[in-house]
Structure 1
């Protein structure tokens, strides 16, 4: 992949990561979230459940926040081939309960599609911490931190 092709691929990948962050809010567009993924993609939740992208609404466990915004800080993308890239996007989420409700990163594998765009093949949501009075704590409790495991996740 030459530098121009890589720049275009990075742009496509970053666009998908930001679209997901924009859509992951109250009254979520779950169909829009699913479109960020390949049809046969894998969506791994903080409690270790593995879902298809069409099941993405299960992330809220039937307890959707009245207000939630995901804010991205650092996005790192590494190409493993011309057809695949791995990324890690750090985030924190603001909810009606707490400004810093929960935080962590999305660990993704992207694949190039036949039309040249890139979609998420696999996403793992890693929650490194959450406010004990926040939405994440109310919905997931300690389960949200299990994915962080040895990566240092703990309540603050």
Structure 2
């Protein structure tokens, strides 16, 4: 993968990340969000729960926030081949409960598709912290931190 191909892939991957952050909000269009994941993709949420793209709604446990916005800060992308990349993107989420409700990073494996696009093949939501009394605390509690604890025993 030459410099130009890598630059184009970085832009494509970053665009998908921002699209995900934009869609992951109250009254989420889960079908539209699922289009950002490759066929057969795995989506890991708190407590070690693994679901497919069609079941991503499990992340809210039937308790959708009245307001939630995800903000992405640092994005680090490493290409392992011409068709696969790994990334970590720092995020924080603002909700109707608290502006800085929960934070952490998305740990992703990306796969280049036959049409040249890049989609998420594997996503682990690693919640590094949450504010007491916030949406994440009420819905997930300490279980939300399980992936972070596994990374940092």
| TM-score category (smaller protein) | over 0.9
Matched, 1:26 2:26: yes
What are the within-5 Å matches in structure 2 for residues 44-123 of structure 1?
44-123=44-123
Contact 1:101/1:136, CA 8 A, preserved across alignment: yes
State the 1:127 CA deviation: 0.2
Contact 1:128/1:152, CA 8 A, preserved across alignment: no
Please, what TM-score do these two structures have when normalized by structure 2?
Answer: 0.97
Contact 1:10/1:77, CA 8 A, preserved across alignment: yes
State the 1:47 CA deviation: 1.6
State the 1:151 CA deviation: 4.2
Please, what TM-score do these two structures have when normalized by structure 1?
Answer: 0.95
What root-mean-square deviation, in Å, do the aligned CA atoms of Structure 1 and Structure 2 show? Answer: 1.1
Point out where structure 2 has 5 or more consecutive residues left out of the alignment.
Answer: none
Number of aligned residue pairs: give it: 153
Q: Measure, in 2, the Cα distance between the counterparts of 1:104 and 1:43.
A: 16
Q: Measure, in 2, the Cα distance between the counterparts of 1:151 and 1:89.
A: 15
Q: Residues 75-103 of structure 1, C-alpha deviation per residue, up to 9 Å, x if partnerless?
A: 00000000100000000000000010000
Secondary structure of 2:22's match? helix
State the 1:9 CA deviation: 0.6
